[in-house]
Amino acid sequence: MTWLWMMLLALFGLGAKPDALSPIAAPTPTIAVQHVPSVTINNEQFTYSYFIVQLPSDISLIPNFSRPKDVQTLMTENTCTSAVNGGFYDTAGRPLGYFFSNTRTYSAKIVSSLVNGFFWADDSGTALISTALPDIPYRFALQTGPMILFNGQTMMLTIQNDEYARRMVAGKTTDNQFVFLTVYSSDSVFSGPMLSQLPALVADISTKENLDIADAVNLDGGSASAFYSSDTRLSELTPVGSIFCVK
C-alpha cells in the first residue's frame, strides 16, 4: 500500500481501512433537537451545525490511537461538554502528520500539499490555525488538512477522485474565537459534500451565521468522524484517532 494511497484514503473521510480497526457499536448517528440549518451548492443541499469556543484554554486534544474508545466514552472520561474528531490516521492507527498532546509527540511533521494545515495552542492562551508551526512550546498541536480558508480567503482545491462524505472543520474567527463545524447530508449522515466544495460552503456558512471565519482547516470525516454539541450528535462508525474536547 503506498503512502499516497493512505493519504487519499484518510483525506476523503475514511480514516483507516475498515478492517484495520474494529467498528464501534454506536447509537443512532444523529439526533438534531433544535435548529437544523442548511446550505446549498450546485443545487445540492447539505445540513450543517456548529458550536463556538470563546477561550482556547477550554480546548484540549485527546489521542485515541491505542485501544480506541468511542467518542461518548472519551467525553465522559474527560468531562467534555462538546467534542469533534481530530485529524487523520493510517491503517496501523498512527497519526498522519504531526501530533502533540499532553507533553508527548505521537508523530512527526510531514510535508504534504494535502495535509497542509496546523491547529495549535500554547500555555499562554494563544491558539491558531496556520500553515506552519512556530518554534514554541505547545499545549497541543495537530497537523491536518487541507486548509479551507486562510486569511479570509477561500482555498481553491483540485482533488482527484473526489468523493461525497460528511465533513468536519475547525475554524478561527477574526475576533479569535474558534468554531467547530460539520456539514453532512440529512438523509445519509455519513455522506456530505465533496472536499472541493467545502471552502465555498464554509465561507457561505460563515456569512449566513455572521461568524467571520478567517482561517479554517479540514479534519477527518466520513465514517471516522463525530460531532457532539448541545443540539447535534453525530456518532462515528469506525474509531476516530483523536478528539477536540471542549469543557
- What confidence category does residue 37 fall into, taking pLDDT thresholds of 50, 70 and 90? very high
**How far separated are the first and last CA of the chain, in Å rounded?**
39
Q: Provide, rounded to the nearest whole percent, the portion of the chain with pLDDT above 90.
A: 82
| Residue 91 pLDDT > 50 | yes
pLDDT computed for residue 1 by the predictor:
35
In this prediction, residues 68-95 reach a mean pLDDT of 96
> Which residue type occupies 82?
S
Segment 210-222 shows an average pLDDT of 98
- Domain span at residue 209 reads 3-246
Q: Is the pLDDT of residue 4 over 80?
A: no
Confidence of residue 20 (pLDDT cuts 50, 70, 90): very low
Distance CA 172, CA 142 (A): 15
Q: Which cell goes with 95?
A: 497519526
Neighbours of 227 (CB within 10 A): 26
Given pLDDT bands bounded at 50, 70 and 90, which one contains residue 72?
A: very high
CA dihedral 198, 200, 202, 207 (to 10 degrees): -170
Checking if the pLDDT of 22 tops 70, the result is no
Interval 204-220 mean pLDDT: 98
pLDDT (average), residues 183-207: 97
| Whole-number Å distance between alpha carbons of 141 and 104 | 10
Residue 202 has pLDDT above 50, yes or no: yes
Tell me what pLDDT residue 38 has. 97
Q: Which helix (H) or strand (E) holds 6?
A: helix 3-9
Whether 26 shows a pLDDT value over 80: the answer reads no
pTM score of the predicted model: 0.87
Tell me what pLDDT residue 174 has. Answer: 97
Residue 200: pLDDT over 60: yes
Residues 6+ apart with CB under 8 A from 67: none
d(CA 219, CA 133): 17
State which of 29-33, 131-135, 147-151 shows the largest mean pLDDT: 147-151
| Count helices and strands in the chain by DSSP H and E runs | 3, 18
Q: How many domains does the chain have?
A: 1
Window from 29-38, 74-83, 106-115, 223-232 with minimum mean pLDDT: 29-38
Residue 107's pLDDT is 97
In whole angstroms, give the CA distance from residue 35 to residue 51: 12
| pLDDT tens readout for residues 173-183 | 999 999 999 99
What was the pLDDT predicted at 15? Answer: 56
CB-count exposure of residue 125 (10 Å: 0-12, 13-18, 19+): exposed
